[in-house]
Amino acid sequence: MKYSTKLSDALHILAFLSMGAGQRITSAKIAESVKTNPAYIRQLMAALKNAGLITSTQGQANAELTRNPDKITVLDVYRAVEGNKPLLHWDIDTNPECGVGIYVQLSIADFYQEIQEAAEQKMQTITLQAIIDQYYKKLEKLALESGQEIIS
């Protein structure tokens, strides 16, 4: 299949809303930045709204975060758009008549759960604010490098 970019796109939306706070931001405007279509953006925004991360009203381009970006974690966004979908998938369709088949997979599933928890624990430490900070850091670095090029 295609790889899911829901989490990435949802974070993109939130960063966009946060950095453009005060302005009237339409789903069309966000779609332009993500290079996709407005309907897909609205679908993700519906999930974010449902999870209580943003507010919005029908007919108005007034979506905004419900709390500060440093109070929104990557895990919050993951839950909002991916729910309980795991990062790793065990093989649900092994041979039930072969005892090894199903029980090996169930054993693997137990350990996948541990890996999932480790990943989610890390997700919980990363905030939207951190992503925005990193973004500005990249912009500054870029500006600096362009400057040097001009000087040299």
Partner DNA sequence: CCTACATGTTATTATAAAAATTACATGTTG
Partner DNA sequence: CAACATGTAATTTTTATAATAACATGTAGG
Of 19, 32, 37, 138, the residue at the interface with DNA (CB under 7 A) is 37
Report how far Cα 84 is from the mean position of its chain's Cα atoms: 14
Residue 84 within binding range of DNA, rule CB under 7 A: no
* C-alpha torsion angle, residues 27, 83, 122, 133 (rounded to 10): 10
- Judged by beta carbon distances under 5 to 8 A according to partner kind, the member of DNA, a copy of itself, none in contact with residue 38 is DNA
Of 28, 87, 88, 118, the residue at the interface with DNA (CB under 7 A) is 28
User: In the bound complex, what is the minimum distance in angstroms from residue 52's beta carbon to DNA?
Assistant: 13
Number of residues assigned to the chain: 152
Single out the residue of 78, 68, 67, 71 nearest to residue 121, CA to CA. Answer: 78
Q: What is the DSSP string of 112-132?
A: HHHHHHHHHHHHTT-BHHHHH
Residue 104, strand partner residues: none
- Judged by beta carbon distances under 5 to 8 A according to partner kind, the member of DNA, a copy of itself, none in contact with residue 61 is DNA
> Which residues from 86-145 bind DNA, rule CB under 7 A?
93
- Judged by beta carbon distances under 5 to 8 A according to partner kind, the member of a copy of itself, DNA, none in contact with residue 57 is DNA
Of 64, 66, 70, 85, the residue at the interface with DNA (CB under 7 A) is 85
Residue 127, strand partner residues: 73
